[in-house]
Amino acid sequence: MKKNFDILIAGVVIILGVFFLFFGHVRDMPGQLPNISMNQPSDKADNQTIETEESPLPIPPLLEDHNPDPNKAEFHLTAQNATKEFVPGKKTETMGYNGDYLGPVIRVRKGEEVTVKVKNELDDITTIHWHGLAVDGDEDGGPHSGIQPGETWSPQIKIDQPAATVWYHPHPEQQTGKQVYKGLAGLFLIEDEVSDDLDIPKEYGVDDIPLVIQNKRFNSDGSFDYDLGMRDVMNGLQGNTMLVNGAVNPFLEVSRGMVRLRLLNGSNASVYELNFSNNQSFHQIASDGGFLEEPAKMDKIVLGPAERAEILIDFSKLKKDETVQLENNGSEFMTFKAKGESLENYTIPSNLTSIEKIDPDQTVKTRDFVFEGMGPMVNINGKQFDIDRIDEELKINDTEIWEVSNESGMGMMGGMVHPFHAHGVQFQVLDRDGASPPAGETGWKDTVLVNPEEKVRLIATFKHPGDFMYHCHILEHEDAGMMGQFKVE
């Protein structure tokens, strides 16, 4: 059986290889993309930048809370079709929550009872998943929780986790990649006493700035190109035009002081390696599920699809009106302009929070998750997604170790990195191939990059009942079936 599967994969690889040879580079012809940046994150040698006028960075609005009770919140979201002008003079068909692209920021406090009324005004079924929230399966918004066109879904969520930058996006079976690509995604911020008390920038939109980083591929008529070629089926859709909060080539005026950036890699498939053009170092203060215990100093940060990081960057040494760029793999895609007087009286807190380490001795069970296959054959543990099949059964409140390894695409065509994500829970990373995780991964995580031939060991306590997904967060892999289900009861 296993042998037949291998032969099948080899056959598929050869067929895909031939397709790739014929069609793989045709779609990247520069002539198809007037007026937009041609930064090619995956292929620096091809880099050509076509100048686009810079525009101010859009800051997604904070969503209004309709419940006056301080311990409760009610938010309204509508998923809708829209158009937006990314390429000057051309209209792009998009999807957005309450707007034309992306969605507003939902901000809540730990302990709050939150209701979100999500209306589907699209033509297709959708769902809304709270990526990074520790919630019961019924509220999680996975593929089971479909919202038909015209209908409203109103989950009630008790916020029971520390301050963090999490996010929301659709999760309909086989349509996640397309709907996210068209613009459905937004940030969800949790605050608590720890974030209140920390002396860090916290004025939203002023010195506490959300950056939703994505990349797209446009057709010459300005429409999004989500016509998956073989290369996209293999690697996921890796766009060649960077967007931040939905804008191409944006700038942000910042004061000459400390700025907090909440970074989300909201792209379908690309891994970013981010740094500042002046090679200035910065401090990572939070990972997916909240603050690190101590700030981690670095001069570049790698973020896989769906991963978040909060960083503090000190602009006080910049001269008045000096600019610095944010770069991915050495290509700039956003500009900061330093304004006003220099505010140097800032120190970075040496301690941010305390995180109780989950004790591996508490582990009741160890499970293996192996990324295998490639292209349309991508799978986990030899199985592709089946909504009617529960792959793993867990007991509530158990602590488990999940060993995630990447054996996909080995041999002929080499491996690729897959980001592993599980719903409804936050993990701690025990080790990567036996070595302690890097400083940025010593806090709570819900998505981790797993490199070819690597094994990452995660530990978590599963406190929420229900049916949940685990999957590769390259959305084209998820849609192709690199996903499974676990049940906690």
Q: Binding of Cu ion at residue 472 (CB under 5 A)?
A: yes
Nearer to ligand C2O, 464 or 473 (CB): 473
Q: Is 308 in the site for Cu ion (CB under 5 A)?
A: no
* Token pair recorded at residue 473: 């967060």
Candidate ranges 47-55, 92-100, 150-158, 473-481; the one touching Cu ion (CB under 5 A): 473-481
Residue placing its CB nearer to ligand C2O in the complex, 375 or 484: 484
Beta strands in 266-362 (DSSP E): 272-276, 282-287, 290-298, 301-303, 308-314, 323-328, 331-342
Which of 73, 98, 95, 76 minimizes the C-alpha distance to 84?
95
Q: Is 182 in the site for Cu ion (CB under 5 A)?
A: no
Phi-psi map region of 382: left, alpha, beta (phi>0 left; psi -120 to 50 alpha): left
Strands 156-158 and 129-131: unpaired
| Torsion sign over Cα 401, 290, 342, 324 | positive
| Burial readout 409-444 (b: 16 or more C-beta within 10 A, e: otherwise) | beeeeebbbbbbbbbbbbbbbbebeeeebebbbbbb
Supply the minimum distance, in Å, between the C-beta of residue 132 and ligand C2O. Answer: 8
Q: Does 445 bind ligand C2O (CB under 6 A)?
A: no
* Interface residue with ligand C2O, options 471, 472, 481, 484 (CB under 6 A): 471
Pick 86 or 427: Cβ nearer ligand C2O: 427
Give CA–CA dist 15/238, Å, rounded. Answer: 21
Q: In the bound complex, which residue of the shown chain has the CB atom lying closest to ligand C2O?
A: 131
CB of 140 to ligand C2O, least distance (A): 9
Residues 119-138 that bind ligand C2O (CB under 6 A): 129, 131
Residue 474 binding partner per list ligand C2O, Cu ion, none, with a CB distance cut-off of 5 to 8 Å that depends on partner kind: Cu ion
Longest dimension (CA), the chain: 69
464 binds ligand C2O (CB under 6 A): no
| The entry of Cu ion, ligand C2O, none that residue 306 binds, CB within 5 to 8 Å by partner kind | ligand C2O
From the list 29-37, 116-124, 211-219, 469-477, the region that binds ligand C2O by CB under 6 A is 469-477
Task: Give yes or no for residue 394 binding Cu ion (CB under 5 A).
Answer: no
Q: How far is CA 35 from CA 28, 30, 237, 302, 487, in A?
A: 15, 11, 21, 28, 49
Count the Cβ atoms, other than its own, within 10 Å of residue 146.
17
Residues 13-42 that bind ligand C2O (CB under 6 A): none
Examine residue 423 and tell whether it contacts ligand C2O (CB under 6 A).
yes
Q: Which helix (H) or strand (E) holds 419?
A: strand 418-422
Residue 285, binding choice from Cu ion, ligand C2O, none, Cβ under 5 to 8 Å by partner class: none
Q: Which is nearer to ligand C2O, 283 or 423 (CB)?
A: 423
474 binding Cu ion? (CB under 5 A): yes
- Could you give the CA distance from residue 257 to residue 205 in angstroms, rounded to a whole number? 15
Window contacting ligand C2O (CB under 6 A); options: 334-342, 382-390, 403-411, 468-476: 468-476
Least CB distance to Cu ion at residue 261 (A): 22
457 binds, among Cu ion, ligand C2O, none (CB under 5 to 8 A by kind): none
Q: Residue 169's binding partner, choosing from Cu ion, ligand C2O, none, with beta-carbon cut-off 5 to 8 A by kind?
A: ligand C2O
Torsion of CA 211, 212, 217, 222, to 10 degrees: -80
Among 169, 178, 262, 457, binds ligand C2O (CB under 6 A): 169
- Picked from Cu ion, ligand C2O, none, the partner binding residue 418 (CB below 5 to 8 A depending on kind) is Cu ion
Round to whole Å and give the CA distance between 4 and 18.
21
What DSSP line would sit under 207-261, residue for residue? Answer: TEEEEEEEEE-B-TTS-B-----HHHHHH----SEEEETTBSSEEEEEEESEEEE
The one of Cu ion, ligand C2O, none whose footprint includes residue 477, by CB under 5 to 8 A per kind, is Cu ion
Residue with tokens 């700038």: 251
Q: Residue 23: enclosing H or E segment and its boundaries?
A: helix 2-23
CB of 420 to Cu ion, least distance (A): 9
Binding residues for ligand C2O, how many (CB under 6 A)? 10
Nearer to ligand C2O, 186 or 440 (CB): 186
- Interface with ligand C2O (CB under 6 A), residue from 106, 187, 269, 306: 306
Asked whether 441 and 429 are in contact (CB, 8 A), the reply is yes
Length of the chain counted residue by residue:
489
Interaction of residue 352 with ligand C2O, rule CB under 6 A = no
Chain residues binding Cu ion by CB under 5 A are 131, 418, 423, 472, 474, 477
Chain residues binding ligand C2O by CB under 6 A are 129, 131, 169, 171, 306, 421, 423, 469, 471, 473
